[in-house]
Amino acid sequence: MSLIFKTPAEVRSFTQELHGKRLALVPTMGALHDGHLALMREGAKHADVVAATIFVNPTQFGPNEDLSKYPRDLDGDVAKCKSAGVLFVYAPDADTVYPKGFETYVNVENVAKRLEGEKRPGHFRGVATVVTKLLALFRPHVALFGEKDYQQLQVIKALARDLELGVEIVGIPTVREADGLAMSSRNAYLKGDERQRALALSKGLHAAQTANEVDAEKLKALIRAELQAADVREDYVEIVDADTLEPLSEVAGRSARALVAGFVGTTRLIDNVAL
């Protein structure tokens, strides 16, 4: 049965007893779906023990975002972790992660400044800070994150590299529903016809991915056409270098990524594909 820890002292005591076994860590905010479970199962391929964290991190939410209504189901999530082979779960309270007097934050500069970083000021400072804390606490050999949050993955790779944390960061391809929608905890917010309209994100990305086209503006136009047809309000559509996230004018001869964010009703969704 998965063990549930609430304090850093409990985690340290347990990890010290692993006696050299390889540890994989899967940080999450809960509301787990098959995409999260895929990370946990992949973790078992890289390590002897898999641990997960469930923590809705307040510092990565803006003042007008959905912190208060973000879905929470700790008992259900722990059961899912157990089914995916997780040995123990760290589920701290916010006051434990950010105690009174907390004043140290982590900023990743270039790779975090555009896209989500521009649309959600302070978001990546919160992400980078909590992930750094978790990596420092667990000292895992490998940590796994989904490519669905592609910019987040690049931010975490940068902080692990630059701070010499000694952990391998592994990105796992986006897990999708049968109709192509990227799995996301926020999909639970979709109401009525919004679930069908949300497919515009993956349809637009697929159109760009399969087009015989290298011009970035033409690729973005393919994505935007799908958003507009489904009445999805664009937040951004970008074609970027897959490593630096710098905007590209064309995709020939280099690794590129198409990223999209849009509002389906009041629900903001993101998605991306390799080009």
Active site residues: 36
180 Rama class: left (phi>0) / alpha (psi -120 to 50) / beta: left
Within its chain, how far is the Cα of 41 from the centroid? Answer: 17
CA nearest to 47, candidates 168, 175, 171: 168
Query: Which DSSP category does 181 fall into?
Result: P
Give the closest residue to 126 by CA, choosing from 148, 150, 94, 101. Answer: 94
Distances from the Cα of 186 to the Cαs of 148, 189, 216, 266, in angstroms?
A: 13, 6, 29, 11
Contact 220, 251 (CB under 8 A): no
| Residue linked to tokens 């010499």 | 164
Question: Which phi and psi angles does 213 have, rounded to 5°?
Answer: -145, 140
User: Residues 6 or more apart from 207 whose CB is under 8 A from it?
Assistant: 222, 223, 225, 226
In terms of DSSP H, where are the helices of the chain?
8-16, 34-46, 74-83, 94-97, 116-119, 123-138, 150-162, 194-197, 199-210, 216-229
- Torsion 196-33-135-146 (CA) sign: negative
